[in-house]
């Protein structure tokens, strides 16, 4: 089995300092681990993980955003952000002249049977100042990127997509409608992934609400499970038969997010054309 995990660590140095990162790795033994919001460069972090290859994409702005992929298997290739030729087709600069393509938001690793993409989607912000960037540029560009990769081999993309797709994906949908993470525009962006054939793997195994991956640090929200599902693992249709499990690991502490995962059957993967 191939176990792929994704975790928004909200600062990898903080998780390590709490003594919670290595125990997570030892308990779950991911074959591939995608991280978001690392808020660090590789040289700033002391991690002793023998057997893993590390690939970091840090934001130009220090201590902000950032993604990484840790993998037991050496990827065939790795890319950071969008390639220049691809990025030229899109405009990632928001109203404050911040370029989302300089924020370390994507790492793409190519393996024998599939691509894995770790993504940290821009937050729309409380005042929705980044919603136009999300709706008109980032979401369609990211979908185009995954579809471009899929022309070569299937794709697993995972990370903090900063949106609750449906009313089942947050504890209190009615008062949050129209707010960041639950605007019609953001939900539409996610729906376009589904319409393009990508599969929200958790929903193959878990229905209904109560399955959340992020909780506010206020009002004991995590203890009460008053949360949002904004972290996902989606796969290309060609990988559907290989998906044998998908889960949210709410018991893993260290961040305001918890890890999410998918398990792929190697025997089925071996049969892919």
Per-residue pLDDT of the chain (273 residues; tens, 9 = 90+): 999 999 999 999 999 999 999 999 999 999 999 999 999 877 777 677 889 999 999 887 887 889 999 999 999 999 999 888 887 787 665 555 456 667 889 999 999 999 999 999 999 999 999 999 899 989 999 999 999 999 999 999 999 999 999 999 999 999 999 999 999 999 999 999 999 999 999 999 999 999 999 999 988 999 999 999 999 999 999 999 999 999 999 999 999 999 999 999 988 887 775
Name the H helices within the chain.
12-17, 21-28, 84-87, 131-132, 139-150, 173-176, 184-195, 221-224, 266-270
- Give the span between the Cα atoms of 166 and 169, in whole angstroms: 5
Which residues lie closer than 8 Å to 217 by C-beta, 6 or more apart? 256
Given CA atoms 220, 223, 228, 233 in this order, what sign does their dihedral have? positive
Is the model's pTM score more than 0.75? yes
In angstroms, how far is CA 41 from the centroid of its own chain?
Answer: 18
User: What pLDDT score was predicted for residue 101?
Assistant: 67
User: What pLDDT score was predicted for residue 252?
Assistant: 97
User: What pLDDT score was predicted for residue 94?
Assistant: 52
Which residues participate in catalysis according to the annotation? 120, 160
Domains present along the chain, CATH in parentheses: 2-270 (3.60.10.10)
User: What pLDDT score was predicted for residue 93?
Assistant: 58
How far lies 205's CA from each of 32, 132, 262, in Å?
21, 33, 11
SS3 content of the chain, % helix, strand, coil (to 5): 30, 25, 45
Which residues lie closer than 8 Å to 218 by C-beta, 6 or more apart? none
């Amino acid at each position: 089995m191939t176990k792929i995990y994704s975790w928004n660590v909200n600062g990898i140095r903080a998780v390590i300092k709490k003594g919670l990162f290595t125990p997570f790795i030892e308990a779950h033994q991911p074959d591939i681990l995608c991280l978001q919001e690392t808020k660090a460069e590789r040289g700033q972090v002391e991690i002793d993980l023998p057997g893993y290859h590390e690939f970091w994409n840090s934001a130009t702005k220090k201590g902000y955003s950032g993604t990484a992929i840790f993998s037991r298997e050496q990827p065939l290739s790795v890319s950071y952000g969008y390639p220049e030729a691809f990025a030229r087709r899109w405009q990632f600069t928001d109203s404050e002249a911040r370029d989302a393509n300089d924020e370390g938001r994507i790492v793409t690793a190519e393996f024998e049977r599939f691509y894995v993409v770790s993504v940290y989607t821009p937050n729309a912000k409380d005042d929705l100042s980044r919603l136009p960037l999300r709706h008109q540029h980032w979401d369609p560009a990211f979908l185009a990127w995954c579809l471009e990769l899929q022309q070569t081999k299937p794709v697993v993309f995972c990370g903090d997509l900063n949106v609750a797709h449906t009313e089942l994906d947050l504890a209190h949908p009615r008062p949050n409608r129209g707010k960041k993470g639950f605007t019609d525009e953001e939900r539409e962006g996610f729906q376009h992934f589904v319409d393009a054939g990508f599969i929200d793997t958790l929903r193959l195994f878990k229905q209904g609400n109560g399955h959340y991956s992020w909780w506010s640090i206020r009002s004991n929200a995590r203890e009460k499970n008053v949360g949002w599902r904004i972290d996902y693992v989606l796969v290309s249709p060609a990988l559907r038969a290989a998906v044998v499990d998908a889960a949210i690991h709410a018991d893993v502490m260290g961040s305001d997010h918890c890890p999410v995962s998918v398990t792929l059957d190697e025997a089925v993967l071996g049969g892919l054309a």
